[in-house]
Structure 1
Amino acid sequence: MSGMLLRLACTATVAAQAVLVPAPAAAAPEPQRSVSQLLTALQQLYRQTERATETYNATAEQLERQRAEVSRLDGELARARLALQDSRTDVGRLARQQYQSTDGLGPYVRLLLSPDPQHALDEGHVIGELARERVRTVTRLTATERQRDALARAARKALDTQLVLADRQRKQRDGVQAELAGVERLLATLTPAQLAAVAALEQQGVTTAQQRLTTAGALPANRPASPAGARAVRYALDQLGKPYAWGTEGPGSYDCSGLTAQAWGHAGTPIPRTAREQWQHLTRIPFSELRPGDLVVYFPDATHVAMYVGNGEVVQAPRPGANVEVSPLASYPVLGAVRPDQAPATDAR
């Protein structure tokens, strides 16, 4: 299975309209499909798989953040319970002191009957301070109880959200696996000759698209990378030959955005995990300004991403069954480019 996928490694569309060999007589009869039709079907399946993978990755990121929030709230709740225990201890101590020191006379009566008015006044000041301490202690106890109750509610809600995300992630994982199964079923019907014809058609499409960019002057002039960009490129190129695997970000395998996120993370500039988030949150730049380390985002829904390395080429984790490789920039339909190590422009008004 993987051998067939590898023979279809990443590089896009166009060319001959060859009719495929009919299915064996034992199989249910179905219309013959041309190479271009078959390539279109495969590309659609790969795109569906990548969309499902990106959705899974986004949920995995949410789940990781939610787990951190649950852990934070659990820690705060534990501290609030300890504080509540301390406050209750203080209230108990004051209650015992009041019980032990009572003599049946209130402080005002003791003041009137005292043979030493100054001493009585001093004692009254102490008694007043003790009363204020009791008020502060009870107030603190009440506030701590409220904080504990609020944290307990927040922790329960956060845990419920975590469980919902975990269930959603499981369903999305099943969705990715179903899309991959569709790719495998289609590839399993092809002969080596058909696979070669599809690969040749795909390669011709990439070459044509790259030539159009060159002819139109859309490919950028060679320019140096930033120091962080150079580190990111070195990391990405060091991963050449490692397999694509959906939902992974190294070190043994990568999906497309896992590779770019890890490369820039190792360069000291953390970026969002998914291709869509990288497109949404990083600084967009015109193609004429591309430099090594910048990210090229593909497809209208921003479901694939690669890293520009110069000379009209990108390094990428292309798709299931392929390995991390250097490819022409026009391997897929280009949406735009973003720069991770440049702050977004602000309104100067």
Structure 2
Amino acid sequence: MSGRLLRLVGTAAVAAHAALTPTAATAAPEPEPPHDRSVAELLTDLQRLYREAEEATEAYNATEEKLREQRAEVARLDRALARARLSLHDSRVAAGRLARQQYQNTTDISPYVRLLLARDPQRALDQGHVIGQLARERAETVGRLAGTEHRADELARRAREALDDQLVLTERKKKERDDVRERLDEVEELLASLTAEQLTDLADVEDKGIEKAQRDLVTSGALGDDAKPSEQGDRAVHYALRQLGKPYEWGAEGPGTYDCSGLTSEAWAHAGTPIPRTSQEQWERLPKVPLKDLRPGDLVIYFPQATHVAMYVGEGEVVHAPRTGERIEVAPLASNPILGAVRPDELP
């Protein structure tokens, strides 16, 4: 049996044993193995379940990233709203002072009559100029007050909307977390239902399938000679290789555990080039490169929905965090159906 499925069986067995009391563990009957299904059918089902679990994981990761951004936006708006409210308080104080001044200077005599009755008309004109200047300053004070009130109201509205969006994302994250757990439970149930012979046969069939896919890829001429990695790509590869042997954990970004896109995004972040968190966004937003032009550090995206990602290390191999129950490893490029490749250090 390959080390891959052996680890998975151990994971499933431990989970099943933990759910039982000591008495029940000895008395419970063995699950009925699905003898009526072929190894190929079982492998297809197992791979489908893993793919669905990883798809759910990447959806969870995307929501977590949006939630992280939304929390930052809520905090930014809260700070801006606090500043606007302080400014509004200052504007209202100034407006109150203006109102008192206007009340104290109230008179029923027209400024034109005061000019005619003045002993020194020129001085009255000068005073009128000062009065005009004060009037303009008062108008500006009133305008600032109105503008500050409008800005505070707008910021308060946006802060409420941002908080509502955060609550929606939080609820979505919980649902997607539950979806991941449900998918992984299905994987464990299937593994627990298999006999040792079936597990051995599954491992053999899967390994032979990967060997054939890799051989077909190489003989097809789709791969060229490895190009020299960039300085950043070389640093990203070295970071990823230093994580070899660490467990896969869905939603994890290190340093002790990783999922597939957590590994690639952290590797490139440590190389000085931040990239999107999820495999779908990495495929959508990073520049595409043909397989024949691959160089170490490039990311290889798998499955039509772009639900898995690995980092090319050269000579037809990738380093990746495969799936639950496994550890970060170097594997053949064709370990999964290839969608394409992207290059993080050639951002448009």
Normalised by the size of structure 2, how large is the TM-score? 0.90
Partner SS state of residue 314, structure 1:
strand
Aligned-pair RMSD on alpha carbons?
2.1
1:261 is aligned, of 238, 262, 265, to: 265
1:53 is aligned, of 50, 57, 73, to: 57
1:251 correspondence with 2:249: no
1:315 correspondence with 2:325: no
**Could you say if the C-alpha distance between residues 203 and 275 of structure 1 is closer, same or farther in structure 2, counting changes exceeding 3 Å?**
same
1:35 correspondence with 2:55: no
Partner SS state of residue 331, structure 2:
strand
1:218 correspondence with 2:222: yes
2:212 is aligned, of 203, 208, 215, to: 208
Structure-2 separation of matches of 1:7 and 1:162 = 35
Corresponding residue number in structure 1 for 2:19: none
Q: Determine if contact 2:31/2:192 at 8 Å carries over to the other structure.
A: no
Corresponding residue number in structure 2 for 1:133: 137
Partner SS state of residue 90, structure 2:
helix
Q: Deviations over 1:312-343 (max 9, x none)?
A: 00000000000010000000001111101113
Partner SS state of residue 268, structure 1:
coil
Q: Deviations over 1:107-161 (max 9, x none)?
A: 3332221111111111111111111111111111111111111111111111111
Corresponding residue number in structure 2 for 1:184: 188
Corresponding residue number in structure 2 for 1:274: 278
Structure-1 separation of matches of 2:43 and 2:272 = 40
Structure-2 separation of matches of 1:107 and 1:25 = 105
Corresponding residue number in structure 2 for 1:151: 155
Corresponding residue number in structure 1 for 2:22: none
Corresponding residue number in structure 2 for 1:167: 171
2:337 is aligned, of 333, 340, 349, to: 333
Q: Deviations over 1:23-68 (max 9, x none)?
A: x998669652222111111101000000100111111111111111
Sequence identity (%): 61
1:72 correspondence with 2:73: no
**Could you say if the C-alpha distance between residues 134 and 166 of structure 1 is closer, same or farther in structure 2, counting changes exceeding 3 Å?**
same
Structure-1 separation of matches of 2:315 and 2:11 = 25
What is the deviation of 1:224?
1.3
Structure-2 separation of matches of 1:250 and 1:29 = 37
- What aligned pairs does 1:278-293 form with structure 2 within 5 A after superposition? 278-293=282-297
Q: Deviations over 1:213-234 (max 9, x none)?
A: 1211222312210000000001
Corresponding residue number in structure 1 for 2:118: 114
Corresponding residue number in structure 1 for 2:232: 228
Structure 2 unmatched runs, 5+: 13-27
Q: Determine if contact 2:312/2:319 at 8 Å carries over to the other structure.
A: yes
Partner SS state of residue 254, structure 1:
coil
Q: Determine if contact 1:7/1:199 at 8 Å carries over to the other structure.
A: no
Partner SS state of residue 42, structure 1:
helix
Partner SS state of residue 260, structure 1:
helix
Could you tell which deviates more after superposition, 45-54 or 109-118? 109-118
Q: Determine if contact 2:252/2:259 at 8 Å carries over to the other structure.
A: yes
Could you tell which deviates more after superposition, 105-114 or 125-134? 105-114
**Could you say if the C-alpha distance between residues 324 and 197 of structure 1 is closer, same or farther in structure 2, counting changes exceeding 3 Å?**
same
**One-letter identity of the residue aligned with 2:179:** G
1:240 correspondence with 2:244: yes
2:146 is aligned, of 128, 132, 142, to: 142
**One-letter identity of the residue aligned with 1:36:** A
Structure-2 separation of matches of 1:49 and 1:29 = 23
- What aligned pairs does 1:82-121 form with structure 2 within 5 A after superposition? 82-102=86-106, 105-121=109-125
Structure-1 separation of matches of 2:343 and 2:323 = 23
Structure 1 unmatched runs, 5+: 9-23, 345-349
Could you tell which deviates more after superposition, 32-41 or 229-238? 32-41
